[in-house]
Amino acid sequence: MVYKTPFVNGIAYTTITTYSKSSFEETLTFYKSLLELNETTVLNDTTVMLANEVTFIIVKLIEDSSKCQNFQVYRKNLIDLRFDRDWRGLAVDSITFTVSSLSIMMQHLMNMNLPFQCSPSITAPTQIYTLDPVGNLIGMTGTKNAISTQLAPPKSPVSSALPSRSSSTRNLNKDLSSHLTTEGDYPSLPPNIDVSDKNKRCIAVMTSGGDAPGMNSNVRAIVRTIIFHNCKPFVVYEGYEGLLHGNIKEVLWEDVRDWNAMGGTLIGTARSPDFKRREGRIQGAHNLINFGIDALIVCGGDGSLTGADIFRSEWPDLIKELLDTNKITEEQYKRHQHLNICGTVGSIDNDMSSTDTTIGAYSALDRICEAVDYVEATAKSHSRAFVIEVMGRNCGWLALMTGISTAADYIFIPETPASSETWREEMCDTVSKHRARNKRTTMVVVAEGAIADDLKPITASDIHETLTKRLGLDTRITTLGHVQRGGSAVAYDRILANLQGVEAVNAVLESTPTSPSPIITVNENKINRKSLVESVRLTKSVAEAIKAKDFKKAMSLRETEFVEHLQNYLAMNRADHYEPKLPSENRLKIAIINIGAPAGGINSAVYSIATYCMSQGHKPYAIYNGWSGLSRHESIRSLKWHDILGWQSRGGSELGTNRDTPSSTDMGMIAYYFQKYQFDGLVLIGGFEAFVSLEQLERARDTFPAFRIPMVLIPATLSNNVPGTEYSLGSDTAMNALMKYCDAVKQSAASTRGRVFVIEVQGGNSGYLATTVSLAVGAQASYVPEEGISLEQLSQDIETIGQSFEKAQGRERFGKIILKTGNASKALGAANLARVIQAESGGKFDAKFAIPGHIQQGGLPSPIDRTKATRYAIRAIGFIEDSQSIICGSRTGDEEFMAYDKKISATASVLGVKGSRITFTSIRKLYDQETDLPNRMPKTIHWEGTRAIADHLVGRKTVGVNGT
């Protein structure tokens, strides 16, 4: 026989115990021939090691005639059942090897005259099983994820012949304390985990359908949360195909280490036509029961989640059939009466109803925007037109959000099909108007599922031909394809996947036999549980409505955020090219100002405000260089469409920004210029200084009538410390910049071995950035100003890190990082903290420090900050329009102006996200009641719960805030 030496995936070696000299010799011969183990080492008279380059088998002899006879009977019973029962559900011990050719292996087994089974069939096997001379089940597979695990206890009639013995395979059910000390308080791992408890819940996770960035983070969070709840985690390799063929493995805490930074799905995914048939689902149920699994969490799209719910609904009938056909015992039947199912949505198309976004969607959008930004540069050089084709079969989310993020000239999406008769004229009209205003580039984004109203596809080639022939543009097509799926997940998807993974496990553990299967969603800034069945039904209804040409219904079934984004894009794309929407008497003069440090998305907000104002008929004015620029230099200029081209995707602040407030410059001069230009509204974009500025202007209304106009603040700061909101523009851009920096530093630490890096994070007195990035990159610890750095906690963290490095024993990808907000400790900067950790490590590891500095503020804004900036900007203009009637006429100096009237006071507000809602909250209420002014922070820390999750997903033990 000639075949590539097989290798073992999951075990370094295994020990086979025999009980007679004859079986000892037979076993040696068996493994030498089967696995081509040529190197023989005699360890002593009763122990021999067989090996090749990658596989080690130790064969031991313990003479015991009684056990020898029992195992002979046991093996014979298995052989007798080879045509009636699946050995995988009967054998005590199983070892699975990966081989390069199953057909050659099958022929070799025939030549050796060995009994074997094939799964799913002898004609197209994915796995082959045989028995060694002492009854161990030996599996061969061609898949990349071989498993080695202890299967379920054997069932009658084999069990009657089974003596008591210890497992001959490496035990994968290890106590977690071998990896981390587990004593202490939440959120450390639970103490004294008894992995031998047969009544412990067994929960499996699988990824299915198309892969999406962030799936690995989701699996990691699910596995570690299962362990945290003192349950057993399993992973199903290769999706439903793996479930069908029993490709299931119990995993440990360390098995999912560093999965946050990896793209795709490490446990594999595959389409499974066989699972759509009842016979396939019966086999899947049998495999789950064999492993003792009673709950399944599925990360995938609507098809995958539909299959999961069908599986659950059929479960009672499936297990009854397994019992009636003697494939499971009465005890197993009683124990597995119910299967709990929970879904987390992983899909780059973002096509699942009831959730704002799915795992992987923003990562795909990030790839697209990066590519379009690159293409824009070359297009501008040659004054070209580009047609960008993006994914999206029945959902135009990617195309729509790309259109907003890059200010594309035109988009095609399936939910709102263009007229089959006029789409060419309409597109050419818009492009011509843009070109007439000296725009050198043309970008048209088309979803792969784009159609006309007669359901005929609109392809990139159709668009290319139209732009070339009708407008004479030098046009190119760029099809991004699977680039959109690839690469590591962005910070948002990592965080979302982790939070949803934790919630999914909680949902499974809290589910009852009668409760409907949940799906974990996110709405605005809040994680929710919703009905899986209803969500899938609504999702499928969109495709059905499109097929039926009921496009109005298709749009109504999309989330309100999707509809709002589409309306925003259409309004901004009109700009000053068409007749304004509002009559002349309702048109306003609106001022825009940037205040504070630069933050990603500031320019996007200014661009969106200006273009939306133009489409409405308002006149946007830019105040350059903050309050000092206004009071000293009258730096005001009305914005024209051509002046702001490209701002949507530009970093920094094109208007200029600083930390001056009205009171620190000249309040009187500011009021004078407000009066001179007759502003009807003001939009402030910035951080805490902008918050303070709004309060000062609102308080000055008594003295200066020019400030008696609607004013609204759009929070924009990486610190995310503005009262009244849970999200500020720029924080996502900063998270991504810092995450990439941490990934690179962590890689360096892992390459060096035995090293931890202390990374100093910006944020002032807010630990938001350090906490969220800690969750995204799996930092061992994060120190924030809200908690400080206690000696007790620092000592505990050093001890835990030391234990981790000891257990690692030089394994790859074992770098550690610690994040520290600059103001977490005045005494311990990053350099000093690293020196303390180094000194206290006892030589177990070394510590270095790194300071990314203003890298966290710079770079291009993320797609999240671009699209949210657009949404908030247009909401802000709507607020100013709606508030005119409340405050109109009060700028005449009328003595009856009631500054503290609630309605009047509410015309100066902060736009914010709270839970699942966008809100406008009076600056007076926020400033007086909800602000910690000395620390420049809100009194309520909305992200506090995220710290506990970040800590428990790395097994960090906390000793209490400030050592209490």
Distance of CA 370 to the CA centre of its chain: 19
What mean pLDDT comes out for the span 142-160? 39
Q: Is the pLDDT of residue 125 over 80?
A: no
Phi, psi for 583 (deg, rounded to 5): -65, 160
pLDDT digits (tens, 9 = 90+) for 758-783: 999 999 999 999 999 999 999 999 99
What mean pLDDT comes out for the span 450-476? 95
Q: b/e map of 230-242 (b: 16 or more CB within 10 Å)?
A: bbbbbbbbbbbbb
Q: Is residue 455 part of a domain?
A: yes
pLDDT digits (tens, 9 = 90+) for 383-427: 999 999 999 888 999 999 999 999 999 999 999 998 999 999 999
Task: Please enumerate, by residue number, every residue annotated as part of a binding site.
Answer: 210, 271-272, 301-304, 347-349, 384, 391-393, 448, 476, 482-485, 659, 717-721, 755, 762-764, 848, 854-857, 936
Inter-CA distances, 515 with 204, 222, 541, 848, Å? 19, 21, 24, 51
Q: Is residue 168 part of a domain?
A: no
Instruction: Identify the helix (H) or strand (E) that includes residue 127.
Output: strand 127-131
CATH number of the domain that 815 lies in?
A: 3.40.50.460
Q: Is the pLDDT of residue 147 over 50?
A: no
Measured from the Cβ of residue 829, the count of other Cβ atoms closer than 10 Å reads 17
- What integer pLDDT is reported at residue 89 of this predicted model? 67
- What integer pLDDT is reported at residue 172 of this predicted model? 26
- What integer pLDDT is reported at residue 11 of this predicted model? 41
Structure-token pair, residue 40:
């023989």
- What integer pLDDT is reported at residue 13 of this predicted model? 59
Q: Is residue 393 part of a domain?
A: yes
Same domain, yes or no: 311 and 427: no
Q: Is the pLDDT of residue 66 over 60?
A: yes
Residue with tokens 């440990």: 252
Phi, psi for 595 (deg, rounded to 5): -135, 135
Q: Is residue 695 part of a domain?
A: yes
Residues 248, 340: Cα–Cα separation, whole Å: 17
Q: Is residue 629 part of a domain?
A: yes
pLDDT digits (tens, 9 = 90+) for 219-262: 999 999 999 898 999 999 999 999 998 999 999 988 898 899 99
Same domain, yes or no: 442 and 518: no
CATH number of the domain that 51 lies in?
A: 3.10.180.10
Percent over 90 (pLDDT), the chain: 58
Residues shown for the chain:
964
Same domain, yes or no: 349 and 497: yes
Residues 506, 520: Cα–Cα separation, whole Å: 11
Q: Is the pLDDT of residue 4 over 50?
A: no
Poorest-pLDDT segment among 131-135, 154-158, 923-927? 154-158
- What integer pLDDT is reported at residue 82 of this predicted model? 78
Same domain, yes or no: 705 and 844: no
Provide the residue range defining the domain that includes 71. Answer: 7-161
Task: Please enumerate, by residue number, every residue annotated as part of a binding site for ATP.
Answer: 210, 271-272, 301-304
Same domain, yes or no: 415 and 514: no
What mean pLDDT comes out for the span 617-634? 96
Same domain, yes or no: 62 and 93: yes
Q: Is the pLDDT of residue 930 over 90?
A: yes
- Spell out the long-range contacts of 434-438 with Cβ–Cβ below 8 A and sequence spacing 24 or more: 434/409, 434/577, 435/471, 437/577, 437/641, 437/642, 438/642
- What integer pLDDT is reported at residue 197 of this predicted model? 54
Same domain, yes or no: 300 and 230: yes
Residues 717, 865: Cα–Cα separation, whole Å: 11
Of 133, 161, 189, which residue is a domain's last? 161
Task: Please enumerate, by residue number, every residue annotated as part of a binding site for substrate.
Answer: 347-349, 384, 391-393, 448, 476, 482-485
Q: Is the pLDDT of residue 169 over 50?
A: no
More confident position, 6 or 515: 515
Domain total in the chain: 5
Instruction: Identify the helix (H) or strand (E) that includes residue 285.
Output: helix 278-290
| Mean pLDDT estimate for the chain | 86
Of 129, 161, 193, which residue is a domain's last? 161
CATH number of the domain that 207 lies in?
A: 3.40.50.450
Residues 401, 365: Cα–Cα separation, whole Å: 8
- Spell out the long-range contacts of 640-644 with Cβ–Cβ below 8 A and sequence spacing 24 or more: 640/576, 641/437, 641/575, 641/576, 641/577, 641/610, 641/611, 641/614, 642/437, 642/438, 642/439, 644/606, 644/607, 644/610, 644/611
Structure-token pair, residue 549:
């040409």
- What integer pLDDT is reported at residue 85 of this predicted model? 74
Same domain, yes or no: 662 and 768: no
pLDDT digits (tens, 9 = 90+) for 12-29: 457 888 999 888 888 888
Q: Is residue 842 part of a domain?
A: yes
- Spell out the long-range contacts of 172-178 with Cβ–Cβ below 8 A and sequence spacing 24 or more: 172/10, 172/148, 172/249, 172/250, 172/252, 173/232, 173/250, 174/252, 176/227, 176/252, 176/253, 178/807
Structure-token pair, residue 762:
């910006």
Q: Report cis status (omega within 30 of 0) of the bond before 187.
A: yes
pLDDT digits (tens, 9 = 90+) for 853-868: 888 887 899 999 999 9
What mean pLDDT comes out for the span 803-813? 69
- What integer pLDDT is reported at residue 766 of this predicted model? 95
Same domain, yes or no: 49 and 82: yes
- Given a contact cutoff of 8 angstroms between Cβ atoms, the answer to whether 758 and 815 are in contact is no
- What integer pLDDT is reported at residue 151 of this predicted model? 32
Directed axis angle between helix 768-777 and helix 731-752, to 10°? 50
Of 126, 161, 196, which residue is a domain's last? 161
Same domain, yes or no: 638 and 694: yes
Q: Is residue 542 part of a domain?
A: no
Q: Which residues are catalytic?
A: 349
- Given a contact cutoff of 8 angstroms between Cβ atoms, the answer to whether 109 and 170 are in contact is no
Write the burial class of residue 64 (CB in 10 Å: 0-12 exposed, 13-18 middle, 19+ buried).
middle
Same domain, yes or no: 405 and 317: no
Q: Is residue 746 part of a domain?
A: yes
- pTM confidence score: 0.80
Same domain, yes or no: 775 and 825: yes
Query: Is residue 136 very low, low, confident or very high in pLDDT (cuts 50, 70, 90)?
Result: confident
Q: Is the pLDDT of residue 924 over 80?
A: yes
Residues 932, 467: Cα–Cα separation, whole Å: 57
DSSP 298-334: EEE-HHHHHHHHHHHHHHHHHHHHHHHTTSS-HHHHH
Residue with tokens 């002899």: 61
What mean pLDDT comes out for the span 684-707? 95
Task: Please enumerate, by residue number, every residue annotated as part of a binding site for Mg(2+).
Answer: 302
More confident position, 893 or 487: 487
